[in-house]
Amino acid sequence: MTSAAHTPQSSHARVMDRLYRRQRHFYNLTRKYYLFGRDRLLRDLDPPVGGRVLEIGCGTGRNLVIAARRNPHALFYGVDISQEMLSSAQSAAARAGLTSRVFTAPGDAERVDARQTFNVKDGFDRVVFSYCLSMIPDWQAALANGIAQLSPNGRLHIVDFGDMAPWPEPARSARQAWLSHFHVTPRADLFEIARLLGGAHGLAVKPASIAGGYAWALTLSPARPSQMLHTNLA
C-alpha cells in the first residue's frame, strides 16, 4: 500500500487523530454492532473489470480490504483526514496481502482531489461514503466533492446514520446523546441534498431505510432520460 506524505493538519484532523489514536485498535470489533448496512453496500459495489473504487473517509481500511477480496479484478483507493486511521488501513492491507491493489493517502473529504492524488485521470467507477458524512463539518461540500471524483458512468454509494423518525423520541434523543461523544451528527436532510447535488450532475438517487430509519443507504447513479424528465418537472 502506498501513502502520500502527510499534509499539515487542520483542526478537524487533530480532533480525529485524538479520537482514534486508541480507538482504531478496537474500532472494527465494536462498530460491527451498530454500523449497519456497510456489508450490503460493499456487496452492491460490483465494479467493472479494471475498475477503480474510492472510499472517502476510509478509516481503518476495513471496507477496502473486504471489497478488494471480493473484487480481485479492481483497484481500491482510500483517503482519510486521520493519520492514525491511515496507519491502521495500511497495516490491514499489508496483513491481507493487498498492497498491490489497495492504496491510501491523507485527504480532507471536503476538498481532496483524489483523481490527482492517485493519478486516476478519468475518475473513479465507484465512490463510497461509509458512516463519515455524519462526522464531516461541511458534509455537503464533501458530498459534492465525492460526486466530482466520479467517472462519467460512475456510481456513488452512501450509508450513514438516519433520523430514526419512526422511533420513540426518547430513543432518538438517547442515540444522539451517545453519538455526540464521537463527534457524530446524523444529517436529517441527506436525501434532499443528495437529490439536489446528484441531479445537478445527471445522477438519480435511490434511497433506502435500514432498521426503521436507524441508518440510511443511498445510491447515486447516472439517470435515465425518463428520470431526468421527472426531476425537471418535480
Cα 139 from Cα 217, distance rounded (Å)? 16
Non-local (6+) Cβ contacts of 194 within 8 A are 143, 158, 205, 207, 218, 220
pLDDT in tens, 109-138: 999 999 999 999 999 999 999 999 999 999
Give pLDDT, residue 31.
53
The pTM of the full predicted model, rounded to 2 decimals, is 0.83
Domains and CATH numbers, the chain: 11-233 (3.40.50.150)
Q: Is pLDDT of 211 > 50?
A: yes
* Residues 102 and 94 sit within 8 Å (Cβ to Cβ): no
3-state SS assignment for residue 12: helix
